[in-house]
Amino acid sequence: MELNEAIRGRRATRQFTRAQVPRPILLELIDAAIQAPSAINTQPWHFTVIQNQALLDRIAAASKAYMLDAMAHVTAPAHPREHLQNPDFHIFYHAPALVVISATAGDWAVEDATLAAQNLMLAACAKGLGTCWIGFAQRWLGTDEGKQSIALPPEMLPVAPIIVGYPAVAMPPVPRTPPRVRWFD
């Protein structure tokens, strides 16, 4: 697959088959992720791969509860709250794998991990895999309890929880708004 095809074709996938993603393929995605640039070449990333469904279910339940509690204290749109309140809503969409990209806390850690995440998602698209960055899990994974659940050292910051799996349905293109560009010649 050409790079531009992956860039234009990658979509958030929220329906997966039950097929497990083989470990060698997940390692290929991680290898693509570590090719990303990082500030001062620190390469601060760390990858946690979870394929254990029971652990994914525990993280999903804890993340839902955490986000619902957080939303109770702020004005938040109704749509996300309704999803989280639905007992049938699984924040990982029953994907067979979760890759949590973390980075050593410090300057540009979030940016570095985000660059790695984009590489991972584009590489997955090129292999016919679907991905979705799950923001609902991000905050809870950053708590002491969340870090402990995935054996993440305290100095690490979980940045990008990305589900990975084989799409159950093809995702249609999403129209893009024309870019707003300001030129200074």
Whether 141 and 161 have beta carbons less than 8 Å apart is answered as yes
Write down the CATH number for the domain with range 3-165.
3.40.109.10
For the chain, domain boundaries: 3-165
How far is Cα 54 from Cα 36, in angstroms, rounded to an integer?
Answer: 31
- The C-alpha atoms of residue 180 and residue 164 are separated, in whole angstroms, by 32
Burial class (CB in 10 A: 0-12, 13-18, 19+), 28: middle
CB atoms within 10 A of CB 162: 23
Determine the average pLDDT of the residues in 66-92. Answer: 82
Comparing CA positions, the residue from 13, 32, 11, 9 lying closest to residue 95 is 13
Cα–Cα–Cα angle for 79, 134, 131, nearest 5°?
Answer: 115
CA distance 100 to 133: 9
Q: Write out the E strands in 60-134.
A: 97-104, 130-133
* DSSP-based three-state secondary structure for 168: coil
The residues, any chain, with a CB within 8 Å of residue 31's CB and separated by 6 or more, are none
Q: What is the pLDDT of residue 99?
A: 98
What is the three-class DSSP state of 170? coil
Q: Place 65 in a pLDDT band, splitting at 50, 70 and 90.
A: very high
Q: What's the chain's average pLDDT?
A: 93
Would the pTM of this model clear 0.75, i.e. be above it? yes
**pLDDT > 90? residue 92:** yes
Least confident of 4-8, 111-115, 139-143, 179-183: 4-8
Interatomic CA distance for residues 163 and 77, integer angstroms: 24
Say if residue 96's pLDDT is above 90.
Answer: yes
**Confidence class for position 111, pLDDT limits 50, 70, 90:** very high
